[in-house]
Copies of this chain bind each other. A is one copy, B any other.
């Protein structure tokens, strides 16, 4: 019982990550131009700003440090979802919740965990539509700093108009017909944009795998309390290759980054999706 870190002494890499977790609020204290400093993995862990943040939390809520080093640290090590996928989930949650101050740290952690710059670019582009244009603008500003700090250039970004993935014409025609029937008379513009911009363009962009695009979408929905949209997108995610175990771990991960209430509201919905698919 209890939340102390179990058993064996953490490795140096583990300690570094838990340390990074604590640095969530660092950006608050950094000057706007600070993003360019100490952003490479080797220097970041020695960045004095990091340590100061650890102290920041300790001077207000020592328990938060304990939880960061215990359950939050352990969370990233759980099987069922890779650190790379956990970073994808976390980024989607932060963008959907417009938590710009948390983004610098998690953008760097995502890159450390193997999320490609082009994938980050696509997640931001995708969430412009799934969490609002302004959220994507704020995320782009944070990503610009993170990319500059690692000398990530235009050659590592997806083109504006790449060759698109093939369209599943039958499934898309079904989806479009259903939406048209449901709300075509209420807002014909939404129906048109949903088809032309979202499902015949955005979702077919090749630089983020459909499974990852779905994982980011579902994470954003849960993180921003949009449970009504979860059934369609969780089903789509599983058709795109996300397993039930991975979905369950993504939800577990979101408990920490989007809060328990969002997760407890999403769980019965996810349960129903899983049960219906089994039949």
A59 to B149, CA, bound (A): 13
* Chain B: minimal CB distance from A21 (Å): 8
Determine whether the beta carbon of B130 is less than 8 Å from that of A182. no
Q: Is A116 an interface residue (CB 8 A)?
A: no
Interface stretch, picked from A11-19, A41-49, A235-243, A259-267, is A259-267
Q: Which chain B residue shows the least CB distance to A70?
A: B197
Q: Chain A interface secondary structure, helix, strand, loop or mixed?
A: helix
Determine whether the beta carbon of A25 is less than 8 Å from that of B140. yes
Q: Which residues of B contact A3 (CB under 8 A)?
A: 196-197, 201
Q: Which chain B residue shows the least CB distance to A139?
A: B60
Determine whether the beta carbon of B186 is less than 8 Å from that of A271. yes
Partner of A134 from the list B97, B143, B185, B221 (CB cut-off 8 Å) is B97
Determine whether the beta carbon of A229 is less than 8 Å from that of B265. yes
Interface size on A, residues (CB 8 A): 105
Q: Which residues of B contact A57 (CB under 8 A)?
A: 137, 140
Determine whether the beta carbon of B28 is less than 8 Å from that of A157. no
Determine whether the beta carbon of B271 is less than 8 Å from that of A182. yes
Do A133 and B72 contact each other (CB < 8 Å), given the known contacts A141-B28, A161-B66? yes
A268 to B62, CA, bound (A): 38
Q: Is A173 an interface residue (CB 8 A)?
A: no
Quick one: which of A245-271 are within 8 Å of B by CB? 248-249, 251-252, 255-265, 267-268, 270-271
Do A197 and B259 contact each other (CB < 8 Å), given the known contacts A62-B160, A265-B226? no
A56 to B144, CA, bound (A): 7
Q: Which residues of B contact A263 (CB under 8 A)?
A: 187, 190
Q: Which residues of B contact A160 (CB under 8 A)?
A: 62-63, 65-66
Partner of A267 from the list B29, B187, B205, B249 (CB cut-off 8 Å) is B187
What sequence of 0s and 1s flags, for each residue 145-189 of chain A, a beta carbon within 8 Å of any chain B beta carbon?
Answer: 001100000100111110000000000000000000011011111
Determine whether the beta carbon of B190 is less than 8 Å from that of A255. yes
Determine whether the beta carbon of A258 is less than 8 Å from that of B132. yes
Determine whether the beta carbon of A71 is less than 8 Å from that of B193. yes
A128 to B260, CA, bound (A): 9
Q: Is A99 an interface residue (CB 8 A)?
A: yes
Determine whether the beta carbon of A262 is less than 8 Å from that of B226. yes
Do A186 and B144 contact each other (CB < 8 Å), given the known contacts A101-B134, A101-B137? no
Q: Which residues of B contact A197 (CB under 8 A)?
A: 3, 67, 70-71
Do A132 and B71 contact each other (CB < 8 Å), given the known contacts A60-B121, A140-B64? no
